[in-house]
Chain A
Amino acid sequence: MLTLRLAILGLTYQYTTSHISREHYDKYHSIYYDEVFRLNPPLPLDSSTSLHPDDLSVRATDELRFTLFRHWTLYDAMYHSSYVASKLGIWKEKGRKRLTGLLAKMGLVTLLSCSRGLSADVR
């Protein structure tokens, strides 16, 4: 179980720092995905929090390529993630406008996307 967790962390590190390609990541991810389901009890659908006090299970989720977007504001997370920054050209005035434009198109006022912590009040 510990080995699996460390393996997942190592794989995630290599992918988020672009050491390996998406195909490579997917290949190993499917292996770990099967292992996670083998070692953890099956879950009710759509649960994002712990089920009971000693719930230390690992479960599969979808992840966005933003840095720490569960803990930062959405704007900060997008601004500081290298993937978004390089795609939008965030170091130029134009790129920054594109980011705010993207957020606006999603129907988010800048004030709203600045409220902290995507998972802060799930509890």
Chain B
Amino acid sequence: MDMDLKKQLHSKLSAIAPEYGLVELSYPSFMRCYGYRSLPLSAADAVEAVSALLDVAGGVKMEVEVEGARNGGEWFSGGKLWEASGEARRADEREKVSTSGGEAREGRIEADSTNEPEEKNTGVPWWAKNFWTAFDALSE
């Protein structure tokens, strides 16, 4: 895409988009620079990246091209996150929830009230892992 278009995109869109009912198309936001390591990353892109980490980091088998890991540098901390190993456990968990829904829920409430660690044998649940992955991406 040529430089001309990049500069004119905002003005062009705001001139034409209202015809199609697209009002409030742009909004003031922020972006963060990364020195010469990477291009500046805008807040909206960062939000997309972090919510993607929260949803699927380590849980879904996915092929990520090396090009994609470059965008944002530290936000995607390496390709090793995208292993398929988590998927099996996640499917197991989903099955368990769907088969014994009510019972499990009651049991969990009980376990909570007695302060017992739940699901001792499965280790850390996938969503907790995803949370820490996103947490690491957000910190310096």
Contact = CB atoms under 8 A, between A and B. Distances in A.
Contacts, number: 141
The DSSP consensus for interface residues of chain A is mixed
Nearest to A107: B12
Most buried by A among B24, B30, B50: B30
Interface in B1-33: 1, 3, 5-6, 9-10, 12-13, 16-17, 19-22, 24-33
A64 B21 CA distance: 15
A62 B16 contact: no
Contacts of B40: 48-50, 59
B130 to A, nearest CB: 16
Interface residues on B, range: 35 or more
Given A50-B40, A63-B26, A9 B47 contact: yes
B30 A115 contact: no
Contacts of B46: 9, 12
Contacts of A58: 30-33
Interface of B: 1, 3, 5-6, 9-10, 12-13, 16-17, 19-22, 24-36, 39-40, 42-48, 50-51, 71, 138-140
Interface of A: 2, 5-6, 8-9, 12-13, 15-16, 22, 25-26, 29, 32-33, 36, 48-65, 67-68, 70-71, 74, 83-84, 87-88, 98, 102, 105-108, 112-113, 115, 117-123
